[in-house]
Amino acid sequence: MKNLIIASTSTIHGGSYLDYLLPVLEQHFENCETVLFIPYARPGGITEDAYTENVRAAFLKINKKIVGLHSFENPAEAIASAKGIFTGGGNTFLLVTQLYENEVMEALAKAIKNGTPYLGTSAGSNITGISMQTTNDMPIVYPPSFKTLEAIPFNLNPHYLDPDSNSKHMGETRETRLKEFHAFNSIPVLGLREGSWLDVKGESIILKGPLTARWFTQNQDPIELEPETNLASL
């Protein structure tokens, strides 16, 4: 049975790394002494070692050990034997490129399907969808494919932002960009606001956190989904 926490962000405004999720993660990884961390997205261009150390410090608060996937000679075997997996945020193009180049995309999808507890934040959440095409990130590298894990039957737009009526910014809103996506693609998209996450258990996909989420489908007006909505019904 699939068992995922898919979070919009690792850090909410005014908080420390993962603090707002730690009570949830303590339960999510309750049967895991060690969690395998995938540092490929490298936020801000930090090294995989430095990223892993940051995550290690956060997980010490719930008495969990962290080991970086990049430290294994055979990353596919490491994923297959992992008791829990966390993919952190950063650049989704880089993350997806590394997952393909290290030949672990399929292994990761299989581990999730088999019930290995998985946590994704930001880019690590983007990859749980059908494709990475609704990421907010710059295409700093060229992945072999936009196809991702298909752990959920739609795409995500983490860090979803509503239009600011007081802003003088003249660029596209997030909603405009998602309409552009739907001009060529029929995949539904969930706009996941900061501080929200999805709790996936088997086929159940429950919206968690204090905020609504915005649901986009092709040729339809977007709708707001209340917390505790089961997106599997959509």
Which segments of 31-164 does DSSP mark as H helices, in order? 48-59, 75-81, 92-101, 105-113, 123-126
Greatest extent of the chain over all pairs of C-alpha atoms, in Å? 52
Distance CA 18, CA 121 (A): 9
Query: Is 122 one of the annotated active-site residues of the chain?
Result: yes
Is there a contact between 59 and 35 (Cβ–Cβ < 8 Å)? yes
Query: Catalytic: which of 19, 71, 159, 204?
Result: 159
Query: Catalytic: which of 8, 122, 125, 196?
Result: 122
Is there a contact between 119 and 30 (Cβ–Cβ < 8 Å)? no
Distance CA 197, CA 49 (A): 27
* Strand-pair category, 3-7 with 118-121: parallel
Query: Catalytic: which of 8, 137, 182, 199?
Result: 137
Residues in CB range of 143: below 8 A, 6 or more apart = 93, 96, 97, 100, 132
Reported in sequence order, the residue ranges of the chain that DSSP labels E, i.e. its strands, are 3-7, 34-38, 65-68, 85-87, 118-121, 155-158, 189-192, 197-201, 204-208, 213-216, 223-225
Query: Is 137 one of the annotated active-site residues of the chain?
Result: yes
Catalytic residues: 122, 137, 159
